[in-house]
Chain A
Amino acid sequence: GDSVTQMEGPVTLSEEAFLTINCTYTATGYPSLFWYVQYPGEGLQLLLKATKADDKGSNKGFEATYRKETTSFHLEKGSVQVSDSAVYFCALSTRGQNFVFGPGTRLSVLP
């Protein structure tokens, strides 16, 4: 079945550091790819998405590019802030199937 693998962390960075969270997937169809973020005590919020190969999703300084050749959707941000501390989930959705989420990566940003 479809699956998502991502680095589980925790990842600890200093403020203004560069962030990369790796995500790779396995899917039988042509999935849409998503990054969700979960702040403490809250539900998940959509951060960005990409629906086809070579699409780049971006939001709030975060970016991820849909790489079909490497089946990857790595999340990047050039300069993280303390307020970015959260758990980040990579996910995929294939038409006709339910969402599949990765295990989540906890990010802590220190001032």
Chain B
Amino acid sequence: KAGVTQTPRYLIKTRGQQVTLSCSPISGHRSVSWYQQTPGQGLQFLFEYFSETQRNKGNFPGRFSGRQFSNSRSEMNVSTLELGDSALYLCASSLVSGSNNEQFFGPGTRLTVL
């Protein structure tokens, strides 16, 4: 069974630009969560999608948005990039939402904002 895949693996953008990251969950998994990982703040929850609906949202500004498609693939978008958005963005999938099932993580997308 293929794992969680994320594309692209690396991105370099400049301030003010926008970026879209993609995540394909494990086949059969319907819940996708996104996290931002930085050395200073650690792992911070961005949002979770299940059946194309946002179920939970972390404490991030509206510049961070996401969506989920009918095949459970998910994208997150960051508009008007700031230097502080440089981070590793991790996607995780699980079978269902709101359960205690473990999450399976992708390798992440390393975003650098110059």
Which residue numbers of A lie inside 8 Å of B, CB to CB? 31-32, 34, 36, 41-46, 49, 51, 89, 93-104
A44-B90, A101-B42, A104-B43 in contact; A51/B107 too (CB < 8 A)?
Answer: no
Complexed CA–CA distance, A69 and B81 (Å): 45
B43:A98 contact, CB within 8 angstroms: no
Q: Which of A93, A100, A101, A102 contacts B100 (CB 8 A)?
A: A93
Of B48, B99, B105, the contact of A44 (CB 8 Å cutoff): B105
The answer to whether B102 and A98 touch across the interface, beta carbons within 8 angstroms, is: no
Give the shortest distance, in Å, between A86 (CB) and chain B (any CB): 13
Write out the residue numbers on chain A whose beta carbons fall within 8 Å of the beta carbon of B103.
Answer: 46, 99
Docked CA distance A102–B35 (Å): 13
Give Cα A94–Cα B101 distance, bound, in whole angstroms: 10
Chain B contact-residue range equals 20 to 34
Interfacial residues of chain B within 66-104, with CB under 8 A of chain A in the complex: 90, 92, 98-104
A31, A42, A89, A96: which contacts B98 (Cβ < 8 A)? A96
How far, in whole Å, are A54 and B6 apart by their CA atoms in the complex? 36
A44→B6 CA distance, assembly (Å): 13
Whether B56 lies near A32 (C-beta < 8 A) is: no
Shortest Cβ distance from residue A33 to the other chain B in the assembled complex, whole angstroms: 9
> Whole-angstrom distance from the CB of A89 to the nearest CB of chain B?
7
| B33 part of interface (Cβ distance < 8 Å) | yes
Q: Which of B35, B42, B48 makes the CB contact (< 8 A) with A104? A: B42
Please indicate the chain B residues that have their CB under 8 angstroms from the CB of A49 in the complex: 102
B25 contacts A by Cβ under 8 Å: no
When the two chains form their complex, are residues A97 and B56 in contact, meaning their CB atoms are under 8 A apart? Answer: yes
Residues of A within 8 A of B64 (CB): none
| A103 vs B42: C-alpha distance when bound (angstroms) | 5
**Which residue of B has the minimal Cβ distance to A33?**
B100
* B100 and A51 form a contact (CB under 8 A): yes
A49 to B101, CA, bound (A): 10
